[in-house]
């Protein structure tokens, strides 16, 4: 049986390292991103892939009842189709971020396509909202150094996450989504970190995706961790509080 040579080992290690840098939400190897702050009692509720009709509307009603502000990363083509709903999100006091025009894998896109996706989404959101957008989340979390550079050239701060509800899975139930959220929160608390919670109010494949289980999981989360016991923030708070620091818990 042939031995694996040092070049093959080095190549495998290089591929693994690149994959981690490009895809791991906590990785800062390709450039700094907002993940979470240093207070384990700070939570940021974030929702991707909207706006999405009734499910986004249900979330807005739920968040209003609890007086919680969240961050919504919107797909540009959906915002073009539902500008009134995009405005309703912002009018309710939530932050709106760029989630590209059509939700491609930016890791695999040409630099020109990356710029078009980000700039196009910026234009769609700013047309709907009447104000600049300052946050961006790359679809799937996939990025390269030039993706992050393009975002910053457009005035966008890249945002990742450190808790995923896995609500995009077809078999996801509210109870199972909640299990994922609680597990991630417990892990972050052990590490002395805030929790940046990723859920979805839409689906990138089609407008009108069923997100009823995500809405129910958000309700369960707010019942389990009411605002009286934790502080819900929008992710731009972490951008400001972490500015200029190299604290490993503030990234």
pLDDT at 175 over 60: yes
The H or E element spanning position 163 is strand 163-164
Q: What residues contact residue 11 under an 8 Å CB cut-off, 6+ apart?
A: none
pLDDT at 248 over 80: no
CATH code for 27-241? 3.20.20.370
List the structure tokens of 210.
Answer: 């069923």
Residue among 148, 170, 166, 144 nearest 158 (CA): 148
Task: Compute the chain's Rg from CA coordinates.
Answer: 18
Domain residue ranges in the chain: 27-241
List the structure tokens of 158.
Answer: 């890249």
List the structure tokens of 186.
Answer: 């417990």
Q: What pLDDT, on a 0 to 100 scale, did the predictor assign at position 205?
A: 95
DSSP state, residue 50: E
Average pLDDT over residues 140-149: 96
Q: What pLDDT, on a 0 to 100 scale, did the predictor assign at position 219?
A: 98
Residue among 189, 215, 188 nearest 201 (CA): 215
Q: Is 115 a catalytic residue?
A: no
More confident residue, 87 or 9: 87
Q: What pLDDT, on a 0 to 100 scale, did the predictor assign at position 134?
A: 97
Count other C-beta atoms under 10 Å from residue 202's C-beta: 28
Catalytic residue among 39, 48, 167, 201: 48
Average pLDDT over residues 225-246: 82
Q: What pLDDT, on a 0 to 100 scale, did the predictor assign at position 10?
A: 42
d(CA 197, CA 184): 9
Q: What value does the mean pLDDT of the chain take?
A: 91
In this prediction, residue 9 has a pLDDT band, given cuts at 50, 70 and 90, of: very low
Q: What pLDDT, on a 0 to 100 scale, did the predictor assign at position 16?
A: 59
Q: What pLDDT, on a 0 to 100 scale, did the predictor assign at position 21?
A: 83
Catalytic residue among 99, 180, 200, 204: 200
Q: What residues contact residue 200 under an 8 Å CB cut-off, 6+ apart?
A: 47, 48, 49, 50, 167, 168, 209, 211, 214
The H or E element spanning position 195 is strand 195-200
Residue pLDDT, tens place only, 191-232: 999 999 999 999 999 999 999 999 999 999 999 999 999 999
In this prediction, residue 14 has a pLDDT band, given cuts at 50, 70 and 90, of: low
Q: What pLDDT, on a 0 to 100 scale, did the predictor assign at position 60?
A: 98
Residue pLDDT, tens place only, 84-113: 999 999 999 999 999 999 999 999 999 999
More confident residue, 246 or 49: 49
Residue pLDDT, tens place only, 116-142: 999 999 999 999 999 999 999 999 999
Count other C-beta atoms under 10 Å from residue 90's C-beta: 18
Q: Is 48 a catalytic residue?
A: yes
pLDDT at 188 over 50: yes
> What is the pTM (predicted TM-score) of this model?
0.91
Q: Are 105 and 142 in contact (CB under 8 A)?
A: yes
Q: Are 122 and 83 in contact (CB under 8 A)?
A: no
DSSP state, residue 109: S
């Amino acid at each position: 049986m042939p031995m694996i040579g040092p070049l093959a080992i080095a190549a495998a290690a290089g591929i693994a390292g690149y994959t981690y840098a490009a895809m791991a939400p906590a990785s800062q190897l390709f450039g700094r991103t907002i993940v979470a702050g240093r207070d384990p009692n700070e939570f940021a509720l974030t929702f991707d892939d909207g706006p999405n009709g009734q499910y986004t509307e249900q979330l807005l009603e739920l968040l209003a009842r609890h007086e919680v502000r969240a961050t919504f990363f919107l797909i540009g083509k959906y915002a073009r189709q539902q500008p009134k709903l995009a405005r309703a999100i912002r009018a309710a006091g939530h932050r709106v971020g760029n989630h590209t025009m059509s939700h491609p894998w930016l890791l695999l896109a040409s630099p020109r396509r990356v710029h078009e996706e980000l700039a196009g989404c910026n234009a769609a959101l700013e047309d709907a909202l009447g104000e600049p957008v300052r946050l961006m989340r790359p679809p799937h979390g996939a990025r390269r150094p030039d993706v992050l550079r393009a975002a910053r050239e457009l005035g966008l701060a890249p945002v990742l996450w450190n808790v995923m509800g896995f609500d995009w899975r077809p078999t996801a139930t509210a109870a199972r989504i909640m299990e994922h959220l609680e597990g991630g929160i417990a892990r972050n608390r052990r590490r002395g970190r805030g929790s940046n919670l990723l859920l979805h109010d839409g689906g990138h494949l089609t407008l009108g995706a069923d997100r009823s289980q995500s809405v129910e999981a958000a309700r369960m989360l707010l019942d389990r961790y009411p605002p009286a016991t934790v502080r819900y923030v929008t992710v731009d708070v972490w951008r400001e509080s972490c500015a200029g620091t190299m604290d490993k818990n503030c990234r």
